[in-house]
Amino acid sequence: MECVRNYINGKWVDARSGQTFQSINPANKEEVVGIVPKSGREDVVDAVKAAREAYEGWRMTPAPRRGEILFRVVELLMKKKEDLAKLETREMGKVLAEGRGDVQEAIDMGYYMAGEGRRLAGETVPSELPNKDMKSVRVPIGIFVLITPWNFPIAIPGWKIFPALVCGNTVVFKPSSDTPVCAAKFVEVFEEAGLPRGILNLVHGPGGETGEYLVSHPGVDSVSFTGSFDTGKRLEGLCCSIHKLIVTEMGGKNAIIVMDDADLDLAVEGAIWGGFGTTGQRCTAASRVVVHQKVYDVFVAKFKAAASRLRLGDGLQNDVDIGPVVNESQFSKILNYIEIGKKEGGKLLLGGKACLKGNCSKGYFIEPTIFGDVTPGMRIAQEEIFGPVVSLIRAEGLEDAIRIVNGTQFGLSSAIYTQDLNASAIAERDLETGIVYINSSTIGAEIQLPFGGVKQSGFGRKEAGGAGGGLDTYSRWKVVYRDFSGKLQKAQIDR
């Protein structure tokens, strides 16, 4: 068991109140993974003050130097990858192979953003006037609050912290209360790499108290949030009311289209990975599969057979495919949605209940669950469940399938399985999601392109790399005009 602390101004400290809470292993409710400080307003004030005091020095540190420190962080992450992956499995439940992938994603993002320390490219363009030059440059925004979820406890903090720091911002990091030990171990790596004090600060505590006060603090310049739609929407309203920048990524109701010409075995494999990977606890999880009516029965038989072979248990065991859901609240929510699906008339094809036997007896385990003959308007086809529950929906053809996929409030990720090049092009054009996959599942985004959704899946700029990605989120543009003519020249007039 770990006794973790807040990290403020380069020091590991307890909450001023002395209050704590426990982080529990969801695969074994009897195991306490960590004792964690329950921070209050005084701790938030201390963290924001430290970030503000460190900002000027970090802003003035040359960007290549900032990148060099981040490269050292990444090298340490490589050495600690296995330990961090095992900790993820213990604290949030994902199987060990996925834990390794989570840490690797942070490593990939670290390498990418550390390299930006020698780019951070702007633009130089010619002036319409003589003896005058013009350019745009990236500059930091200031003090960033970063609020992260529990389902990717190393990767998503990496998505946010690396670009925020390389751009010259300082940070107050508020992780999920379900994965605080992972967050503390991640921050320890930055300390070990020699990041100066005050630049990265860590405050633990519940989102409704610690997180909301952090977001509204007048010393904070901008916020990046990944989490539930309800929380994100509330934070958006709070920030907009005080004219503060915020970026939110808030989940989805993602769908895979399976056309009548699809490679059905490949489509089944993608639907299994999309629907039940990370126990369905991904914002990009494929919780709907929209199947052409001509192949619906064959697909259902194959999909049900594949899902029935999935093995539940502690993710540290080699023979386990699916771990527990993260906590009791999520456990109850998912089981409630299963009951809703039954009452709505969905045909329960597989699962539908908790698994309380064998090595699952002490944790929050739910069987892989499949509903067939789901109609697009059912709640289980419209609302984000965030668990191992997949709804199968019939479609008459491509146009109908796209209509079904687009018919929700969310728009994060979608996929289509087809051998028809024209069909894939139409889907690519018409699917109303931020991410579209062709002959692949709805999960598996790579860090060198922007990540984020449309509609109620996200608000503001995007995360990750590429044009319009994290650098645009964590920096602002400054335009500079320099006139060395020695006289006043008037653009658009003196021509």
- DSSP state, residue 366: B
The C-alpha atoms of residue 166 and residue 62 are separated, in whole angstroms, by 10
Q: How many whole angstroms separate alpha carbon 103 and alpha carbon 34?
A: 20
Domains and CATH numbers, the chain: 2-250+457-480 (3.40.605.10), 255-438 (3.40.309.10)
Give residue 495's pLDDT: 72
Tokens representing 187 are 């921050």
Identify whether 283 is a catalytic site residue.
Answer: yes
pLDDT < 50 regions, the chain: none
Amino acid identity at 339: E
Phi and psi at residue 191, in whole multiples of 5°?
Answer: -65, -45
- Residue 313: the pLDDT is 97
pTM: 0.97
The residue behind tokens 């010409």 is 261
Select which of 116, 249, 384, 463 is catalytic. 249
Query: What's the number of CA atoms in the CB half-sphere (13 Å) around residue 125?
Result: 9
Hey, how many other C-beta atoms are within 10 angstroms of the C-beta on 97?
A: 14
Q: Residue 187 burial by CB count (10 A; 0-12/13-18/19+): exposed, middle or buried?
A: buried
Catalytic residue among 167, 283, 355, 360: 283
What pLDDT does residue 240 have?
93
Predicted pLDDT at 490:
94
Dihedral of CA atoms 299, 273, 263, 391 in degrees, nearest 10, equals: 30
The pLDDT assigned to 189 comes to 98
Torsion angle of alpha carbons 99, 103, 106, 108, nearest 10°?
Answer: -110
Rounded to an integer, what is the distance from CA 39 to the centroid of its chain?
23
Which amino acid appears at position 286 of this protein? Answer: A
> Looking at residue 209, what is its pLDDT?
83
